[in-house]
A and B are shown apart, each in its own frame.
Chain A
């Protein structure tokens, strides 16, 4: 199986997950890592059975590159909140880009930067999305194994609350702090509530969850819902963005 690992606009954290499961991956002789700039100095860009893409599309060059990768890959898997939703840097999609640019740089020519940071699926067909900021490394092993064995992947349908209840945590909302758990996909093991703080949305919005209901709770308690969503690393997720725009108006 010919594998490619690619980085777009991101922090590098998700592709490092390959190093965390190195032993598991090395066990299979079928896996050939053909392209992985951060890991190896000899890389070949040809065709791939599966390409893992980290990061969001935020420059003209990246728009072009994601199309090339899609054309060269049988399966394309987005890994992490940047690739799946646009990442924390997609806050800029809700801001005036010219003002933002001038705040950070004075002279560097940034004509190549797009006014938006968007998920991979805004540009090309994506076969599977691995959520999380960062992803859970063992999901990579699961995907690679599933493709080798030609078996279907299970889709996560639960909010963080299910994992949280299973852990026996006291509900953070009940304790009196903001928590995005009810509308966020599980996968982290209800990490933040287990650390006595509200979920801040790393795994992104769960489709079909009660967005309006949680918005109401935040409103009643005087918490800033818009700010919590904007800082959620997934505010530009397709399941979210229309709602986020409405919050602003």
Chain B
């Protein structure tokens, strides 16, 4: 068996590689080998105080720290029996919208768009289309400024505490963001139309793949909800681990997930859009229909358009929260530390993020369990790459490596979350 390193897999968050296994000169099997060094978060959380958990889990991912904070804080609040005030919940939604805007814009334009233009990076796009990049940066900054206002800084914000926020903004703090809104909204629409004008490869997920996302009343899912599978199956956050299982395979430091009945599924923008299209804002639905983006979207390449629609939805919803915002006099609910087990679930930009903690009566973590979106997408991501490369000769497969990388990027994998260097190795 010969192992050859070909070229790094790039423009993804974290490090991993595709491994091709040859038999009789043909690709027999394909694996995505994630060897991002594990940082053992579930282990190092043990013994930590409940109040440090949101600070620590944020560091699992520099792109979606708020998602980690929201799933953690809600898990701990469910142990303490805390119900936050509705104005705090609205502020948490606004906080989460800001992360979706920043995270989606980062993936759409910095990591994903170069694939559609056949260039290496956003630096190349800047050389030929500086006006597009200018709008991208303005939009990204808007998300970052909103995160900063509520959380103190755009990455690893500091204000989320059990029971609410350590400090909340005042109404007048939103004035600048509200006055900049129209310009940024126009940028977002311009950028959506720009993306819609790109050429999309013909591709479809298999019918057997389920879409799993949260459902939360009339809301497009983000902060909380029950877990809905596209075959109609619904479970509560506390039942997640009864119906969805994580499993390990020897070639990956990230775990895989499936439903206990053996069905594989994806989470993230396509799942949310396909399951909850009706719950998008009317203006966003109109925009989707105008460009013939209707559920079920089965082409993962088009996830870039769905992400952009979600950005627009977050912007408009964000404006509404900012406009209706009234000064909050009591930002934290009183609570008593008790022992117990609790779960928290929310929609990270990349999909369903589930946490469970067991605390002792001193509020110290005895057990932590975290299921990130990328582990849940890993199987189907691998299926796409296998479909692309299996049965090919060595020469053919090497020509198709670039396409395989694109198929992976469609899922916006967050490898730090799921456990490094994406490299392609050939075993022959």
Give Cα distance in the complex from A26 to B124, angstroms.
11
* B416 near A10: Cβ-Cβ < 8 Å: yes
| B65 at interface, CB cutoff 8 A | yes
| Contacts of A193-239 to chain B: CB distance below 8 A | 194-197, 200, 202, 224, 227, 230-231, 233
CB neighbours of B161 from chain A (8 A):
197
Instruction: Name the B residues within 8 Å of A134 (CB-CB).
Output: 62, 153, 155-156
Q: Which residues of B contact A92 (CB under 8 A)?
A: 40, 43-44
Q: Quick check: B39 and A117 within 8 Å, CB to CB?
A: yes
Q: Would you give the 0/1 interface string for B336-378, flagging 1 where the beta carbon is closer than 8 Å to chain A?
A: 0000000000000000000000000000000000000000000
A-B contact pairs, 25 of them (CB 8 A): A7-B15, A11-B61, A11-B416, A12-B63, A20-B154, A22-B122, A26-B126, A37-B8, A39-B10, A39-B123, A87-B39, A88-B39, A88-B59, A99-B43, A103-B46, A104-B38, A104-B40, A104-B43, A106-B248, A107-B248, A134-B62, A134-B155, A202-B156, A227-B49, A231-B52
Chain A residues lying within 8 Å of B421, measured Cβ to Cβ, are: 7, 37
B195 in the interface (beta carbon within 8 A): no
User: Which of A40-48, A121-129, A144-152, A159-167 is the contact stretch?
Assistant: A40-48
Asked if A100 and B43 sit within 8 Å, CB to CB, the answer is yes
In the assembled complex, A141 has its CB within 8 A of some CB on chain B:
no
Decide: B12 and A38 in contact? CB cutoff 8 A.
Answer: yes
The answer to whether A89 has its CB under 8 Å from any CB of chain B is: yes
Please tell me if A153 contacts chain B, counting CB pairs below 8 Å: no
Which size class do B's interface residues fall under?
35 or more
Cβ 8 A contact of A42, one of B12, B120, B152: B120
Among A16, A40, A62, contact of B155 (Cβ-Cβ < 8 Å): A16
**Count class of interface residues, chain A:** 35 or more
When C-beta atoms are compared, the residue in chain A nearest to B154 turns out to be: A20
Contact between chains at A16 and B37 (CB < 8 Å): no
Q: Does B286 contact A (CB under 8 A)?
A: no
Q: Cβ of A41 and Cβ of B121 under 8 Å apart? A: yes
CA distance A23 to B211 in the complex (A): 38
Task: For A110, list chain B residues within 8 Å (CB).
Answer: 38, 253
| Contact between chains at B15 and A231 (CB < 8 Å) | no
> Would A13 and B10 count as touching, CB distance under 8 A?
no
Contact A197 B44 (CB under 8 A): no
